Amino acid sequence: MMKLYNFFRSGTSHRLRIALNLKGLDYDYVAVDLRRDEHLGEAFRALNPQGLVPALVDGEQVLIQSPAIVEWLEERHPAPPLLPADAAGRARVRALAALIGCDIHPLNNRRVLEYLRHTLGHDEAAVAAWCRTWIAAGFAALEALLAADPARGDFCHGGSPTLADVYLVPQVESARRFGVDLAPYPNIVAVDAACAALPAFARAAPAVQPDAA
Amino acid sequence: MMKLYNFFRSGTSHRLRIALNLKGLDYDYVAVDLRRDEHLGEAFRALNPQGLVPALVDGEQVLIQSPAIVEWLEERHPAPPLLPADAAGRARVRALAALIGCDIHPLNNRRVLEYLRHTLGHDEAAVAAWCRTWIAAGFAALEALLAADPARGDFCHGGSPTLADVYLVPQVESARRFGVDLAPYPNIVAVDAACAALPAFARAAPAVQPDAA
């Protein structure tokens, strides 16, 4: 069985739990406690020299970086698909995912917030404002892109979950944690609600993981 | 012919110029001057609501987000391939690319540095230290991953350029601009030199673009 090295509150870990659940793949949950710096310890670094969760061990393969891992899962376990059948659709879904994965999430990562606090000396109010700034900028673009899609169903792209939803739901979870007002983003909120109604998403939520505080 | 909306010094634009050149695809160079905030103007936002370069117009398709665009190019123009033929190789190349595209580049993006300067009031020394911190963390991991690969040739993965090199070269360019000491990363420096010797990379360099300062 696959082993997922992850942390309940990590957004990139959350993505993989959703993708694995959507594909109906069982996995062993291996908790890496970021609060105790386990990701920086020798045992985990032997698996991933970068010292970041998640990592997925699939047979002999050690896989790192959630964008690469979701593509691996899509290639190895194509059903149900998380990418559309047409090239234009795939480009759109990957763009929505990358908007979140490159332009929102990395800026609010734990190590970045620690740098703002400890190296640059900012207080929690400034850190929260920082997070809200990048989430709001990304969500405004995402909301415009969702609103402009005449073929959109209940999810980010069409009528079933794709990689874009795999990225969106953890980012909405994080936005709520940072106190972002979601009222300006009705399409995002609607997609998040449609996802939450599916067991694959519900079972992946941070709050119901074994290492949840 | 395809139209590439881009800016000479943007790392994500630089990626696409390399990928297009490696695939032997001609394109019209459309300069979007970030110094004059053209990316935030109505004309460009009509193309990309996110207001970030690059965007690629390919026939009727408007493509945004460089990670999605390189996959589009790979699907539509498979020769020469920028991803390995085996799934494990693809996962590795995509992981190296994502390490740069998610964990290094977004933190040193123009809008982020402007926030550090103008909203948080940091001086250029603090901004440069910020950039060097994230480049050094990412390059240390990347160097370890390259060094640990027994099958590696002159490039990030094997003996010909892949998506990983498409991402690496612009990041090395940016590291040099921020004064990062590259001595601790001999494998990265060697890959960068191997790439620089190829016309596809040389022609994509910021300094030789029509809008270069």
Pairing of strands A55-58, A61-64: antiparallel
Please determine, for residue B75, whether its predicted confidence score (pLDDT) is greater than 90.
yes
Average pLDDT on A87-94 reads: 97
> Does pLDDT of A201 surpass 90?
yes
Neighbours of A81 (CB within 10 A): 16
Q: Which residues of A touch B52 (CB under 8 A)?
A: 103
Nearest-CA distance A117 → chain B (Å): 12
Q: Does B57 have pLDDT greater than 80?
A: yes
DSSP state of A85: S
In the DSSP assignment, the letter for residue A2 is E
Residue ranges per structural domain of chain A: 2-80, 87-200
Residues 65..124 of A with a Cβ closer than 8 Å to B: which? 65-69, 71-72, 75-76, 87-88, 90-95, 97-99, 101-103, 105-107, 111-112, 115, 119-120, 122
Selected from 3.40.30.10, 3.40.50.300, 3.30.390.10, 3.50.30.50, the CATH number assigned to the domain covering A2-80 reads 3.40.30.10
Q: How far apart are CA A7 and CA B51, in angstroms?
A: 33
- What's residue B213's pLDDT? 74
CB A69 within 8 A of CB A54: yes
What is the pLDDT, as a whole number, of residue A150? 87
Architecture of the CATH domain B87-200: Up-down Bundle (1.20)
Q: What residues in B contact A120, CB-CB < 8 Å?
A: 120, 122, 126, 130
Predicted ipTM? 0.97
For A105-153, what is each residue's pLDDT tens digit? 999 999 999 999 999 999 999 999 999 999 999 999 999 999 999 889 9
- Assess A15–B contact: CB distance below 8 Å, yes or no: no
A71 band by pLDDT with thresholds 50, 70 and 90: very high
Question: Which pLDDT band holds residue B150 (cuts at 50, 70, 90)?
Answer: confident
| Confidence at residue B92, expressed as pLDDT on a 0 to 100 scale | 97
pLDDT at B151 over 90: no
